[in-house]
Amino acid sequence: MLTNTEENYIKAIYHLSVDNKTVRTNAISEVMNTTPASVSDMLKKLSDKSYIHYEKYQGVSLTKKGKTEALQVVRKHRLWEVFLVEKLQFNWDEVHEIAEQLEHIQSKLLIERLDNFLDHPTSDPHGDPIPNAKGEMPVLRQVLLSELEITIKAKVMGMKEHSPAFLQYLDKLGITIGSSVKVMDRVVFDASVELKVNDKKTMVVSHEVAKNILVSPID
Amino acid sequence: MLTNTEENYIKAIYHLSVDNKTVRTNAISEVMNTTPASVSDMLKKLSDKSYIHYEKYQGVSLTKKGKTEALQVVRKHRLWEVFLVEKLQFNWDEVHEIAEQLEHIQSKLLIERLDNFLDHPTSDPHGDPIPNAKGEMPVLRQVLLSELEITIKAKVMGMKEHSPAFLQYLDKLGITIGSSVKVMDRVVFDASVELKVNDKKTMVVSHEVAKNILVSPID
DNA sequence: AAATAAATTTAGATTAACCTTAATTTTTGG
DNA sequence: CCAAAAATTAAGGTTAATCTAAATTTATTT
Ligand SMILES: [Mn+2]
Ligand SMILES: [Mn+2]
Ligand SMILES: [Mn+2]
Ligand SMILES: [Mn+2]
């Protein structure tokens, strides 16, 4: 059985894995808030337990076994977030830290009962997909708002950034999951986006903001 | 902030504290499943942090601060047990281990929202009282079934023993919280109890069983 | 292709929570 | 009251997870 720390490392490696590139020690140390030396220690351990492929100085990737574990932790994290928002009336910017703890509770039965209680949600309050009990992740084709073609209407599906500051800003703008958005124009100078939200409100958001909003074009 | 282990020790000391007697090292080691030597180590630490009064060889007692902490952990444990039984359809003999983990989740807000979601329950699935947010424990006057006067009708309020084996046996006997019980007779030889449950079923339970059932006489 | 910089690993420590074995201290019952 | 038993503490170690500082490897720049 994995310790909480091992689970956190494996989850971090999972989240850092994009397009088959290996995940580097320094990148892990950054998201884990530890030193690269501590990461090296842990990588050796995770490699010995065959959760990761590891070649010294070359970065790591998850094994099959490691990926399975990662997906279970992600599943738990996201289901608990749904619980906190849907049942306990938390705001979407308040749930991450608590889910960080709850994701480590060990009980297969608990998580299946929770899933059932929540009516088998497929995405969490930030729009992130929830893997099923087998660890299969629903594949959603989504585009970044920063990449959305001009004048095409789309629906907000999720956020890449989860910090309270960002989520609260979106609350203020009136942008949430399910909102409709249409890019009216792009500012050439700084790639700011002129946006119509829910067919009424027009606003300008920075490229940085647009880069963190996932949308799906409507038909 | 306390570690999970410190919380578990403090809770164990709380549960072992009865009528102002100090709690002994060996008693703690037994319920914590550790060696007396490990307990000594921890007692030194908890004393340094002033959660307990500790004189070498004389046993320990909780300080005000320690008791407050203990009551918060007990509150969390019992609220989570209610959640598991009421909302996730767990049986009362399945919840203890999971609550053992959940009781350590750190978030004041979470526990108050949970309390609210559950409609401020005053006792857990085993009949144990739930301290309120201020740490005030409802005082229930209850008698052990083994002490209940003969032919007096009483209501089952809770169980002292929480092991799955015991709770499942009660399920089989049809004795649960809220059942009415009347002691028809006591066997002098071994103090077994002849019992009428819910005004119908008559059965015999051992003294050992009767000692672990808390009842409250009906008027 | 060096030389410098950046990334990573190794070495050596620290802290928490354990353990085993060996003192101590307290309790008990003859 | 005192010796044996029981309880408790002390000493010395282990493992997991961390750290700092130093060494090594890889990458980048002249
Ligand atoms: Mn976590
Ligand atoms: Mn999320
Ligand atoms: Mn616990
Ligand atoms: Mn209980």
Q: Which ligand is located closest to the Cα atom of residue A129?
A: 2
For residue A138, the model assigns a pLDDT of 86
- B85-129 pLDDT, tens per residue? 999 999 999 999 999 999 999 999 999 999 999 999 999 999 999
> Residues 29 to 58 of A: which have CB under 8 A from any B CB?
none
Q: Helices (H), strands (E): how many in chain B?
A: 8, 8
d(C-alpha B194, C-alpha A51), whole Å: 58
- Residue A86, phi-psi category: left (phi > 0), alpha (psi -120 to 50), beta (remainder): alpha
For residues B56-75, one letter each, b for 16 or more C-beta atoms within 10 angstroms of the residue's C-beta and e for the rest, the string is: eeebbbbbeebbebbbbbbb
- In the chain, the amino acid numbered A210 is A
pLDDT tens for chain A, residues 1 to 219: 999 999 999 999 999 999 889 999 999 999 999 999 999 999 999 999 999 999 999 999 999 999 999 999 999 999 999 999 999 999 999 999 999 999 999 999 999 999 999 999 999 999 999 999 999 998 888 999 999 999 999 999 999 998 999 999 999 999 999 999 999 999 989 999 999 999 998 999 999 999 999 999 997
What residues of chain B, 95 to 114, have a C-beta less than 8 Å from chain A? 97-98, 101-102, 105-107, 109-110, 113-114
Name the residues in B24-43 having a C-beta closer than 7 Å to nucleic acid strand C: 32-35, 37-38, 41-42
pLDDT at site A219: 77
pLDDT at B138: 86
Q: Do residues B213 and B159 lie in contact, with contact meaning Cβ atoms separated by under 8 Å?
A: yes
Query: What pLDDT sits at residue A141?
Result: 81
DSSP state of A23: B
Do B122 and B129 form a contact (C-beta atoms < 8 A)? yes
Compute φ and ψ for A148, nearest 5 degrees: -65, 135
Q: Which nucleotide is nearest to A57 (CA to C1')?
A: C8
Centre of ligand 1 from the C-alpha of residue A196, in Å: 37
- Identify whether the C-beta of residue A45 lies closer than 8 Å to the C-beta of residue A60: no
> What is the β-pairing status of strands B180-186 and A143-144?
unpaired
User: Angle at the Cα of B9 (from B2 to B63), degrees rounded to 5?
Assistant: 75
Q: Which residues of A touch B109 (CB under 8 A)?
A: 90, 94
Q: Which of A113, A39, A52, A187 is nearest to B90 (CA)?
A: A113
Place of tokens 């102002």: B20
Task: Provide the CA A35 to C1' D20 distance, Å, integer.
Answer: 10
Q: Which residues contact B140 (CB under 8 A, 6 or more apart)?
A: B123, B129, B157, B158, B216
- The secondary element (H helix, E strand) that includes residue B58 is none
List A204's β-bridge partners, or say none. A194
Task: Count Cβ atoms below 10 Å from residue B206 Cβ, excluding itself.
Answer: 13
Give the helix/strand (H/E) hosting A65.
helix A64-86
d(CA B62, CA B46): 10
- β-strands B201-205, B193-197 pairing: antiparallel
| Domain architecture of chain A: domains with CATH | 4-62 (1.10.10.10), 143-217 (2.30.30.90)
Residue B140 confidence (pLDDT): 82
Are A109 and B87 an interchain contact pair (Cβ–Cβ within 8 Å)?
no
Question: Who among residues 9-38 of B has its Cβ near strand D, under 7 Å?
Answer: 24-27, 36-37
Cα distance between residue B53 and residue B62, in whole Å:
6
Structure tokens given for A115: 């899933």
What pLDDT tens digit does each residue of chain B (219 aa) get? 899 999 999 999 999 999 889 999 999 999 999 999 999 999 999 999 999 999 999 999 999 999 999 999 999 999 999 999 999 999 999 999 999 999 999 999 999 999 999 999 999 999 999 999 999 998 888 999 999 999 999 999 999 998 999 999 999 999 999 999 999 999 988 889 999 999 998 999 999 999 999 999 997
pTM (2 d.p.): 0.91
- The distance (Å) linking the CA of A11 with the C1' of D16 is 19
Distance separating alpha carbons of residues A60 and A47, to the nearest angstrom: 9
Q: Long-range contacts made by residues A84-89, C-beta under 8 angstroms, separation at least 24?
A: A84/A125, A84/B110, A85/A125, A86/A118, A86/A121, A87/A118, A87/B117, A88/B110, A88/B113, A88/B114, A88/B116, A88/B117, A89/B113
Tell me, what's the pLDDT at A55?
A: 96
